[in-house]
Structure formats: structure tokens, C-alpha cells
């Protein structure tokens, strides 16, 4: 059985939309529990609480601390008031993933307020659970989709730009990862829709990303930024929602998981590692220097990493890179979805090749 989930039920991206939070809550519940990241709440909280107050809605506010983990879930669940009939998540990816776990546990609807455009967590009907030390534990899928996603593009613009560009990296890879694993196979309607959505996102990000970055730097919420926000938060979630069994991640995400064991790279964002991983994947696929250069030049325009130095490495040490290549190629890794055998040696060579090419292009 191939199941598709096209979520969320409502998605609104509009400056000032959070001043309508109360009206949205009233459509689905009356006693909200708010799970909010501290920074997110300092930015979005005044508008949300003003709106709830105006609609005479009492709410319980709990602060999200750290990672989306079972420990954090239990800590927050122990505080839930029995009358809670709706959850509001306010923040970035891990906070919203935690809020979704809570809503699912309580069997109540969830409204997500996304304050960053770095992931599609606000729209998706799944959560990624880690240990408190940020080691991947599991992916949990839900039968319920968020009933509403509210996005104020002004708040996204005011957040550090790196979140937006990392989100572009994580979203851009979807087509590149899904395309090779479906090549030459029968594609059902859901797969075709997912692939088309991924292709559309790729083209839109090429068209609008550079201008979106410029708009953020100028402090303007323009058309380009708003298009990129829709790609990163709404459309990205639809790729996996439509083609959940076929439009999957492959090389870039596998390489990202491998590189997470390199201590020097611990400060790099998920989308940044994935973006570098995509360059390595394309090298593994035998793409030409011309094609790689085109993508590297796009990365340079929006400040995505094009070398191992950009990802935080201070020197090119063989040992950690070989360990990362070994982790990338573990049995069951998504690297093996690529339609050809991939070895540790090939992955290691791709790390170095892209680094050298990126360095060369950085100084021309």
C-alpha cells in the first residue's frame, strides 16, 4: 500500500498573520498548550498572546528546551493540563517536531507557527527524534496533519540569514536525491507528483534564492523571499507527502549523516552539510566539472559551503574523513539507494575532489 499525505490542512504566509492566531485556535479548540522555543517566543509571543487575549482564550505556555527527544517529550507531557484540547508549536524544526509528538500523544489538533525557514517541520506529519546528545533515534509518522501553519515572513527575515540558506540547501537536494533512485522504474501517480514537485522547487530556488538573500540583507520582505519561504516550508513537505515511499533522500543526506561524526563540523547546520553532500553525490554519479561548477557558483552566491573549510574543518585530516566515509556507507544507509555500488573509497575521494574544486573556484 502506497499512502500519500498532502498536508497541512491550512497554510497561511502573511505579514502580521500571528495577530489572527486566536481566530485560528477557535476553529479547532479552546484550551491551547503552547510549546515555544525561547528565542521564537521572544519574537512571536507578543503577537500570539495579544491575539489570544483579544479572543478571550486562556493558554498554557511551556518552553521547549534543547532537542526533540523522548526525555523532553516526557518532561513536557508531565506538565500538560487535563483540559488541553489543542497544541500550538512556535519555533524551528526540533521545537515543532516536539510539539507534534505531544499533540499526537494527546490526540488533539496542532497549529504550527514557523519562525524559521530552515526545515519543513511545520507542515509535515512526522517528527525526527534524537537523544539529548543529538544522536538520531527514530522517525515517527502521524496519522494527523497539522490543521494550520501560520508563517509571518517578517519574522523569518529577521532571523539569522544562515537558517534561510541552510533551508534552501536542504530543500534543493530533494529533486537531486529522488531523481536517480526512480530512474528507469515504473512511477505511479504519487511518485510522479512528488518528483514534479521536487523539480518545481529546484527551479524556483534557482530563480529566487539570490534575490531572497538580498532582500533579507536589505531588511525587505519581497516576492523572492516569500517564494523561497513557501518552497522551504510548504512545498518541501509535499515532496515526501505525495511520494512518501519513492521520493526519498539518498546520497546527500547519507553523506550528511556520515559527516556529523567529524567534531570540527559540529557547528555546521543540517542543510549546509546536506548541500555539500549533494556536490559529493553528483561527483559519485559521474557528473562533469561543468555541472558541478554551475552548482558551486550558485552556492557561492547565497553563501552555502563549497569546501570542507567552509564546513568548519581546520585542516584536511584523512582519519576523520575516512571515518565519515565509512559511516556514510554503513549497511542500510540511504547512499545505497543510488543505482550503482558506492564504496567508502569513492565517498572519501568525492569529499576531497569537491573540496579542491570548491577551493579553486573560491579564489578565481
Site for Zn ion, rule CB under 5 A: 170
Residue number, 51 or 119, with CB nearest to Zn ion: 119
| Distance from chain centroid for Cα 81 | 31
Residue 58: CB atoms within 10 A of its CB come to 11
Beta bridge partners of 258: none
**In angstroms, what is the minimal distance from the CB of 111 to Zn ion?**
23
Residue number, 221 or 333, with CB nearest to Zn ion: 333
Residue number, 152 or 170, with CB nearest to Zn ion: 170
Nearest in space to 194 (alpha carbons), one of 206, 204, 179: 179
**In angstroms, what is the minimal distance from the CB of 4 to Zn ion?**
20
Residues contacting 12, CB < 8 A, separation 6+: 148, 149, 150, 151
Residue number, 84 or 249, with CB nearest to Zn ion: 249
**In angstroms, what is the minimal distance from the CB of 169 to Zn ion?**
9
**In angstroms, what is the minimal distance from the CB of 345 to Zn ion?**
26
Q: Which residue is nearest to Zn ion (CB)?
A: 170
Q: Cell match 558506492: residue?
A: 342
CA separation for the pair 242, 82 (Å, rounded): 35
At 15, list the grid cell.
505579514
Residue number, 2 or 136, with CB nearest to Zn ion: 136
**In angstroms, what is the minimal distance from the CB of 271 to Zn ion?**
7
Peptide bond into 284 cis (omega under 30): no
CA separation for the pair 11, 112 (Å, rounded): 10
Amino acid at each position: 500500500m502506497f499512502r500519500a499525505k498532502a498536508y497541512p490542512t491550512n497554510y497561511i504566509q502573511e505579514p502580521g498573520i500571528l495577530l489572527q492566531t486566536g481566530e485560528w485556535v477557535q476553529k479547532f479548540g479552546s484550551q491551547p498548550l503552547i510549546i515555544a522555543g525561547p528565542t521564537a517566543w521572544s519574537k512571536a509571543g507578543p503577537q500570539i498572546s495579544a491575539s489570544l487575549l483579544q479572543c478571550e482564550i486562556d493558554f498554557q505556555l511551556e518552553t521547549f528546551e534543547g532537542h526533540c527527544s523522548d526525555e523532553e517529550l516526557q518532561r513536557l507531557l508531565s506538565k500538560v493540563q487535563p483540559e488541553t484540547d489543542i497544541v500550538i508549536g512556535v519555533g524551528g524544526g526540533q521545537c515543532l517536531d516536539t510539539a507534534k509528538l505531544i499533540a499526537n500523544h494527546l490526540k488533539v489538533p496542532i497549529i504550527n507557527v514557523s519562525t524559521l525557514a530552515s526545515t519543513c517541520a511545520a507542515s509535515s506529519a512526522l517528527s525526527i527524534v534524537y537523544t539529548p546528545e543529538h544522536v538520531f533515534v527514530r522517525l515517527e509518522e502521524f496519522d494527523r496533519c497539522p490543521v494550520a501553519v501560520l508563517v509571518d515572513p517578517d519574522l523569518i527575515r529577521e532571523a539569522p540569514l544562515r537558517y534561510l540558506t541552510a533551508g534552501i540547501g536542504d530543500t534543493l537536494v530533494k529533486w537531486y536525491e529522488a531523481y536517480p533512485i526512480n530512474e528507469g522504474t515504473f512511477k505511479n501517480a504519487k511518485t510522479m507528483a512528488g518528483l514534479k514537485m521536487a523539480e518545481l522547487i529546484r527551479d524556483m530556488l534557482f530563480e529566487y534564492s539570490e534575490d531572497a538573500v538580498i532582500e533579507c540583507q536589505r531588511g525587505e520582505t519581497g516576492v523572492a523571499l516569500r517564494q523561497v519561504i513557501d518552497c522551504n516550508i510548504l512545498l518541501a513537505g509535499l515532496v515526501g507527502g505525495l511520494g512518501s515511499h519513492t521520493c526519498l533522500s539518498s546520497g546527500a543526506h547519507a553523506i550528511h549523516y556520515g559527516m556529523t561524526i567529524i567534531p570540527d563540523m559540529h557547528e555546521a547546520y543540517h542543510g549546509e552539510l546536506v548541500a555539500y553532500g549533494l556536490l559529493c553525490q553528483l561527483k559519485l554519479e559521474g557528473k562533469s566539472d561543468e555541472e558541478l561548477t554551475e552548482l558551486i557558483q550558485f552556492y557561492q552566491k547565497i553563501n552555502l559551503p563549497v569546501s570542507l573549510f567552509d564546513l568548519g574543518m581546520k585542516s584536511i585530516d584523512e582519519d576523520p574523513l575516512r571515518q565519515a566515509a565509512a559511516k556514510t556507507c554503513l549497511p542500510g544507509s540511504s547512499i545505497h539507494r543510488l543505482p550503482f555500488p558506492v564504496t567508502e573509497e569513492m565517498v572519501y575521494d568525492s569529499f576531497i575532489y569537491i573540496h579542491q574544486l570548491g577551493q579553486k573556484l573560491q579564489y578565481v
